[in-house]
Chain A
Amino acid sequence: MKHLSLLGLLWLVIRRDMLLAMRRRADVLTTLIFFVMVVSLFPLGVGPEAEMLRKMAGGVLWVAALLSSMLSLPRMFAADHLDGTLEQMMLVPQSLSVMVLGKIVAHWMLSGLPLVLIAPVLGVQFDMPLAAIWTLMLALLLGTPVLSMIGAVGAALTLGLRGGGVLVSLLVLPLTIPVLIFGAGAVEAVNSGLDAVSNLALLGAFLLFALVFTPFVAAQALRISME
């Protein structure tokens, strides 16, 4: 049996999750469509006045990103839980934290990264200036992984419970508020002609902090849920 390094394990898990997701492309697309739809609802709700929309854009896109991430969270562990793979993963001597990290990375690439890539299109819908759009993309790039990571803890805790998506959202959303504040704050800073560096730096700090702690915490949460 070939010895598997931690990095090899990580890559294995990422590849597997991505492959499985590719076979059910609809799941990935629905998250994206949800994101676009939610963003489009706001102008319908508050009116098409350009100045107001420009001001709102950062906040609206961020809230929509939060909601879209929440929607796709149960998918992280549910399928593997149902067919028994998760149990196998936990019995194996390899590090569960690393496997969880792999799942988080895969989740982000399927739910978070698409949002980053489609954000400019939506930014244009809101008539955002170019500098703001760039900042938004960078902020989302730093922030959406954090959403996936905090979400992983929530998804692990609520494994197999009824009320799935809503319960996870209830638990996870309050914890993601700092990301929302500084993510939207970055866009607003640029709109006011200020520098977004401090906001982005904080987002980066959140990312590092989450990267260090969440795989382990989520792994513990999985063990709690699976006993």
Chain B
Amino acid sequence: MAINWFKYSAPTNFYALAGKLIPWFAWPAAILFGIGFYIGFFVAPTDAVQSEAYRIIFIHVPASILSMFIYLIMAGYAALGLIFKTRLSAMMASALAPTGALFAFISLWTGALWGKPMWGAWWVWDARLTSELILLFLYLGFIALQASIEDPRRADRASALLAIVGSVNVPIIYYSVQWWNTLHQGSTIKFSGTSMHVAMQQSMFIMLAACWLYAIAIALARVRSIILEREANTHWVKELGEKA
């Protein structure tokens, strides 16, 4: 029983598949958020140095990781769309961008709220926060470019090129900022011990998984709208409109 995966690269088929898949990602995400939160707050102990404030990391770190991960996936889809000229790939890239940007925002916000009690300032120009800010700019640039171009094909391809150029730059930017930061004696985040308590690791990992599942669910939901918007003139969408 060979599954013809390629049939799902047609927006028609993917639309239906995505719709069925969403609950399979959304519900586990919610459950994992609950479990991760519980372990992070009720099982993990109080940190000797940072007291209760350290618990912010259970949302801060997953958000940071995901914001970077999503950018790369987005650029990957964009590249696929450019090379193979598949419309769906470009649509997936567009669907992922807002989610990635929002995760970058959450990372910056929670990072600031963590920094204030720890180092006394709302914003410290440490390598990770600064790189995260630049990543947010890259996301916003992608979204702005797409929004500025009327022709959907040109918009897809132009933003795809931008995403690819951006992703090549991301490691360069990251290391430049790291270097810049060590030069200016940035502060680093330290815990009381050399290793993290097991429960802390567990919670972080579970929250990371939860965020990831959430991202997939919301991107699938968004891409369904994008498909409808783009394919509005096709037969199957018209039929869908009749049923609605």
Contacts and interface: CB of A to CB of B under 8 A. Distances in A.
Do A and B interact directly, with beta carbons closer than 8 Å?
Answer: yes
Interface of A: 153, 157-158, 161-163, 167, 170-171, 173-175, 177-178, 181-182, 185, 188, 217, 220-221, 224-225, 227
A51 B187 CA distance: 25
A220 B154 CA distance: 12
Given A181-B180, A224-B158, A170 B166 contact: no
Nearest to B150: A161
B18 interface: no
A167 B144 CA distance: 8
A158 B173 CA distance: 23
Contact of A225 (B134, B137, B158): B158
Interface residues of B, number: 25
B144 A178 contact: no
B141 A170 contact: yes
B149 interface: yes
A186 to B, nearest CB: 12
B169 interface: yes
A167 B158 contact: no
A175 B161 contact: no
Nearest to A166: B144
Given A157-B161, A225-B158, A167 B145 contact: yes
Nearest to B181: A181
A157 B176 contact: no
Contact of B173 (A161, A174, A220, A225): A174
Contacts of B134: 174, 177
Given A174-B134, A174-B173, A185-B183, A224 B148 contact: no
A178 B166 CA distance: 13
A153 B165 contact: yes
B157 A224 contact: yes
Contacts of A174: 134, 137-138, 141, 166, 169, 173
9 A-B pairs closest in CB distance? A178-B176, A174-B137, A171-B141, A224-B157, A181-B176, A181-B180, A157-B158, A161-B148, A175-B169
Contacts of A221: 158, 161
B85 interface: no
Nearest to A184: B180
B197 interface: no
Contact of B145 (A171, A185, A227): A171
B158 A175 contact: no
B230 interface: no
Contacts of A173: 137
A136 B166 CA distance: 27
Interface string B132-143: 001001101100
Contact of B161 (A177, A178, A224): A224
B116 interface: no
B148 A162 contact: yes
A170 B141 CA distance: 6
Interface string B146-163: 001100011001100110
Given A158-B148, A181-B179, A182-B176, A175 B154 contact: no
Nearest to A150: B165
Nearest to B175: A178
A131 to B, nearest CB: 19
A163 B180 contact: no
B144 A220 contact: no
B177 interface: yes
15 contacts: A153-B161, A157-B161, A167-B144, A167-B145, A167-B148, A170-B140, A171-B144, A174-B141, A174-B169, A178-B169, A178-B172, A181-B176, A181-B180, A217-B161, A224-B158
Select the residue from B134, B165, B176, B183 with max chain A CB neighbours within 10 A: B165
